[in-house]
Amino acid sequence: MFLVGAVIVFSAFFLNVALGAFADAAILGDVGEMLVLSCASVLFVVAILRKEADRSKSDDST
């Protein structure tokens, strides 16, 4: 769930950067881009930490 959210938010960031580079029609400014990229990074880290917690939980039980 968190990993899917990270991909969606990063896709929005990438789309904004591509629009700014090729069409000169960026939707977000610098601060907006920073917030979107930060949100994608946080969601990715949460997804990875949850996967590691699940993995260590299953390793401890066997």
Helices (H), 19-29: none
**Distance between CA atoms of 34 and 29, rounded to whole angstroms?**
9
pTM: 0.84
Q: Is the pLDDT confidence value at 31 over 60?
A: yes
pLDDT in tens, 15-29: 999 999 999 988 999
Q: Is the pLDDT confidence value at 60 over 90?
A: no
Q: What is the pLDDT of residue 61?
A: 61
Q: What is the pLDDT of residue 59?
A: 83
